[in-house]
Amino acid sequence: MNLLEKEFFGIEHRLKSGHLNLQDIGDIVPASLMLHQLDGLMPVGCFYMNEWGCSNLGSSAEEVNALGESYYDKYFVAEEAALHRDGIAKYLMAGDFSSQFNFFQQVKLFGKKDYTWFYTVCKLMDSIDSKDTTQNLVLLSSPIQGIENITERMHRVLELDKYIQDNYWKFNQLTKREKEVISQLANGKSNKQIADILFLSNHTVSTHRKNIIRKLDCDSFADLMRFAIAFNLVDGQ
């Protein structure tokens, strides 16, 4: 499902750059798009669900919040829902804004007798509003049979930079620590400064740098900066 995950990264990139707003995305994707507000990386409620999601669940963000715990019993298989909630909780506790948490789930859609298989991508995001310091959890859930359709529509609307498309596989193979080192390098920090900031030895930082250069095949600092900017690894972007 890497194609859907890559397109999802494009959504975040365009939202942060101001090229699209949430309504734009919600209007064009044939999938459920939900935003949950977080308080200390703990969900406190769903404050947005697009029209596709509302229509296919036969509900609204307000009604989802009002259901409380019964929301999971009403729309999902109990055993699956428990596993997914545990996985999401661990993902949130890790607090890694550069990663995603993805899973398959069965959903009981409005007016349907049987469950429908969905593929869900979860992504931590800082608030789109620069004046808002809260954090959000974005969930994009697409029916398995509709994934090709959703990626085609997203790609057409988002018009992802070719650079991101060509290099997403490199971004995806980086570890969390390597992304942190890239971020510090892109912000002009030396090996010693990075070691102090990340509580690592100089030798460990040097090893990370060698691994980063090998994985990204960077020939210059300019190449590294281009990668860091494209994948939102520079502080203040």
Pairwise pLDDT comparison (154 vs 65), residue with the higher score: 65
| Residue 59 near residue 39 (C-beta atoms within 8 A) | no
What is the mean predicted confidence (pLDDT) over 107-135?
79
Tell me the per-residue pLDDT of 217-236, one tens digit each, with 9 for 90 and over: 988 888 888 898 888 888 65
Q: In a 10 Å sphere around its CB, with 0-12 CB exposed, 13-18 middle and 19+ buried, how is residue 24 labelled?
A: middle
Using alpha carbons, select from 69, 33, 62, 30 the residue that is nearest to residue 46.
62
pLDDT higher than threshold 70 for residue 146 = no
- Give the pLDDT band of residue 155 (cuts 50, 70, 90): low
pLDDT more than 70, % of the chain: 78
pLDDT in tens, 49-95: 999 999 999 999 999 999 988 999 999 998 899 999 999 999 998 88
Q: Is 87 exposed, middle or buried (0-12, 13-18, 19+ CB in 10 A)?
A: middle
Structure tokens at 17: 């750059």
Least confident interval from 61-75, 92-106, 116-130: 116-130
Taking the C-alpha atoms of residue 175 and residue 82, their distance in angstroms, rounded to an integer, is 27
Domains of the chain in sequence order:
2-158 (3.30.450.20), 162-230 (1.10.10.10)
What is the number of other CB atoms lying within 10 angstroms of the CB of residue 192?
Answer: 10
Q: What is the pLDDT of residue 8?
A: 67
Angle subtended at Cα 103 by Cα 46 and Cα 146, rounded to the nearest 5 degrees = 85
Higher pLDDT residue, 144 or 160?
Answer: 144
